Structure 1
Amino acid sequence: MPLVGTTGKFTYRLLAVALVGQAVVLSFFALVVRALAIADDRAADGGRLLWVGLGLAALAVVAAGLMRGPVGLPLGWLVQVLTWASALLVPAMVGVAVVFTALWVLLLVQGTRVDALSARRAAEGAAAAE
């Protein structure tokens, strides 16, 4: 399973869609962590935590946009790691991290298989045309 480098066309599209979905959930996480801080009489921390959560969501969107190049895959992995780390603030984020990390790995593996199959069929079509 690659941690760095570029992926095939189908794979980077799948991973980008997963990251955008994760960004939406992370945005809600930012709102929840802010509300929890305010409920605990830590209003000053609430604003800071909101921006940290929104920053993580923005990183997911940036990673989705860069998925085509060599920087996208490591950024996507970084988003997964930071999502796991966010469980320190809100323990329920473990569930989100499990779902999105499993989806990330599944799409990475299956997308790579589809890209290899597509390349093989394109090569067979080119050889048959000659």
Structure 2
Amino acid sequence: MRSLPFHGQTGKFTFRMLATVLGGQSICILLGALVARGVSAANDGGGRSTAYLLVGFGLGALCVVAAGLMRRPWGLTLGWVVQALTLLSALVVPMMFVVGLFFLALWVTCLVKGAQVDAEMARREAAAGAGEAPSGGDGPADRVDG
């Protein structure tokens, strides 16, 4: 298996999948920020609750920014930073560790499968450009009537 990329551009399908993961992750992080604020306000009278809320909203906004920058070579790196910070947010809200693991698994899956889909699409486009029939499909051109 090829190693996971931490920097560089990905294919069109891959960066769209990664941006979708970051979009969903931003919603969960924003909700986690609200939980952190509520728990902090209940436990210590709200001394740190505003800070937790602002940091959580900042991380949620960073997710959205990273999703928008997935086309850039350093967008992938920023996405990895978001994954690490999501796991780190478990220091404030322990259940964010589960959320972080879930989105990290989605992130890695999208990187691996997205690269496979991009490679297959490139192979099919090259075959179509050369005038060859695509192989391995179940389309009407691949069936033999008889």
Measure the CA separation in 2 of the matches of 1:106 and 1:17.
Answer: 13
TM-score normalised by length of structure 2: 0.86
Q: Percent identity?
A: 52
Which of 82, 102, 107 matches 1:104? 107
Question: Unpaired segments of 5 or more residues in structure 1?
Answer: none
For this pair of structures, how many residues does the alignment match? Answer: 129
Q: Over aligned residue pairs, what C-alpha RMSD do you find? A: 0.9
Which structure has more RCO (C-alpha within 8 Å, separation ≥ 6)? 1
Task: State the structure with more CA Rg.
Answer: 2
Structure 1 segments of 4 or more deviating over 4 A?
A: none
Measure the CA separation in 1 of the matches of 2:89 and 2:116.
Answer: 31
Secondary structure, counterpart of 1:128 in structure 2 = coil
Aligned to 2:68: 65
1:20 maps to a residue whose letter is G
1:99 maps to a residue whose letter is F
Question: Unpaired segments of 5 or more residues in structure 2?
Answer: 133-146
1:14 maps to a residue whose letter is M
Q: Which has the higher helix share?
A: 1
Measure the CA separation in 1 of the matches of 2:11 and 2:110.
Answer: 12
Q: Does 1:37 align with 2:43?
A: no
